[in-house]
Amino acid sequence: MKTLIKNASVVLDHEIVEANVLIDGPQIATIDPADHSVAETTIDATGLHLMPGVIDDQVHFREPGLTHKEDLHHASHACAKGGVTSFLEMPNTIPNAITQSLLNDKLAIAAKNSIVNYGFYIGATTSNVDDLKHATRTPGIKIFIGSSTGDLLVDEQSALETIFGGTSLPICAHCEDEATVRSNAEKYKDSTDVADHSKIRDHEAAYIATKRSIDLAERHQHPFHVLHVSTAAEIDLIANASDLITAEVCPHHLFFNVDDYERLGSLVKMNPSIKTADDNAALWAALESGKITVIATDHAPHTMEEKRQPFPQCPSGLPAVENYLALMLNEVNQGRCSLTQLSHWMSAEPARVWNMKNKGRIAEGFDADLVLVDLNQERTILNEEQETKCRWSPWHGTKLKGWPVATWVMGNQVFRWRDGCEFDSDVRGREIEFTGERGKRFA
């Protein structure tokens, strides 16, 4: 089936051009095809911008084992609504995805239930290096250096040396120093103030673990991705590292800081914790300078009942996947960044970092994973309109200008906005292919 998207402002690698885009089956056939091109479906995109589909390389979609919080049906609909056409999901489901068999089980669930494209990390433990060496159908290895319990907590130096030195898949890590966190937790063991979470999971905890991880990656010459950078201090470590090292930031670390605990309480309790307004500014500057190149959500939903528990019982994590493109489009409208920068941070770079085949760009022969956005549309984030199963957002009540209005996954339109959300829930996304070789950065 062919689809012609006409008269769009098309966001390419370095420029925006007025063009038509012809989709043929699952791929982009032609940019600016001849006027006589014929398609079964024609979309008039006058006044709208066509962007590469967003790739969220860090989500927790909770299936299997924790589906009272989220599942792949609801999460993938939230993705489609938010312009996210591909996701990479973390291994801390139940059971933890730490073997090829358990990884295959998650892929099979996604094949049945996800309307967008999908991939799953394999989790590292202190004893599964053989599984990590031979893992296939995965973007890479996830290590929890802090902020986990049981088998997924890998804090011993000898185990980390073995993983970095004995495996070949790219590695990413949650970087918070476990000893620092435990020491701080002891100091605040009697606290019931959620703001103390940022004192327990403080700047030092993040800095120590990120420094340690980069050292391991550099010595073993192993590609390494720093997840959810939260402090200004980490940025210098990343900037001074080799090209083996990449990093990302999340919306909650860009938009929230410790001043927001008074207003939002446990809803913004995160690991790593939110930090200061100065850290917010430093993270934005790092994106703009290219020191940090990826924006991802760390979408980690819990039920409102769970989040409303008193501190410290309330869990860490918040949902973001269906709103983070709109949050960033609002920043485009305010002049903080451009659409080409956004496309770089949210599509091209995640595809490059994780070696995704034919993803992340609008180019002939690439997969037709696309999102049409209306920079003039104004809407307000409301809990009752959320597609995520937990049905709440920390941005509830926030009015934004700039929203996704249509999403295609492998050439199939899965979402459109017509005074409300419309989905094609019969479509299924595809398993993402990983080439094993990082592409070149776009300057």
**Which pLDDT does position 314 carry in this prediction?**
97
Q: Which of 300, 294, 303 is nearest to 270 (CA)?
A: 300
Please enumerate in sequence order all residues whose Cβ is within 8 A of that of 278, keeping only pairs 6 or more positions apart, or say none.
232
**What DSSP string describes 195-214?**
GGHHHHS-HHHHHHHHHHHH
Beta bridge partners of 86: 55, 117
**For residue 158, what are the contacts with CB-CB under 8 A and spacing of at least 6?**
none
- pLDDT one-digit tens code per residue, 209-244: 999 999 999 999 999 999 999 999 999 999 999 999
Q: Shortest CA distance to 85 belongs to which of 423, 359, 381, 403?
A: 359
Whole-angstrom distance, CA of residue 326 vs CA of residue 381: 10
The pLDDT value recorded for residue 437 is 74
Instruction: Give tens-digit pLDDT for 266-292.
Output: 999 999 999 999 999 999 999 999 999
Distance CA 85, CA 43 (A): 19
437 by Cβ neighbours in 10 Å (0-12 / 13-18 / 19+) ranks as exposed
Task: Read off the pLDDT band of 149 (50, 70, 90).
Answer: low
Nearest to 85 by CA among 431, 408, 375: 408
DSSP percent split of the chain into helix, strand, coil, nearest 5: 35, 25, 45
DSSP conformational letter for 440: P
pLDDT of amino acid 38? 81
Largest Cα–Cα distance in the chain?
Answer: 72
DSSP string of 230-275? Answer: --HHHHHHHHTS-TTEEEEE-HHHHH--GGGHHHHGGGG--SSPP-
Tens-place pLDDT, residues 100-145:
999 999 999 999 999 999 999 999 999 999 999 999 999 999 999 9
Per-residue confidence band for 34, with pLDDT thresholds at 50, 70 and 90? low
Distance of alpha carbon 267 from alpha carbon 255, whole angstroms: 14
Q: At 156, which amino acid appears?
A: E
What band does 151 get if pLDDT is binned at 50, 70 and 90?
Answer: confident
Mean pLDDT in the chain?
A: 96
Contacts for 435 with CB less than 8 Å, ≥ 6 apart: 355, 356, 357
Residues 33-38: contacts with CB under 8 Å, at least 24 apart: 33/4, 37/4, 38/2
Asked whether the beta carbons of 145 and 160 are under 8 A apart, the reply is: yes
Cα–Cα distance measured from residue 72 to residue 301, given in angstroms and rounded to the nearest whole number: 12
pLDDT tens-digit map of 318-329: 999 999 999 999
Domains of the chain by range and CATH? 2-50+368-423 (2.30.40.10), 53-353 (3.20.20.140)
Whole-number pLDDT of residue 185: 97
**Is the predicted pLDDT of residue 443 greater than 50, yes or no?**
no
- What residues does 110 pair with on adjacent strands? none
Q: Which amino acid is at 117?
A: N
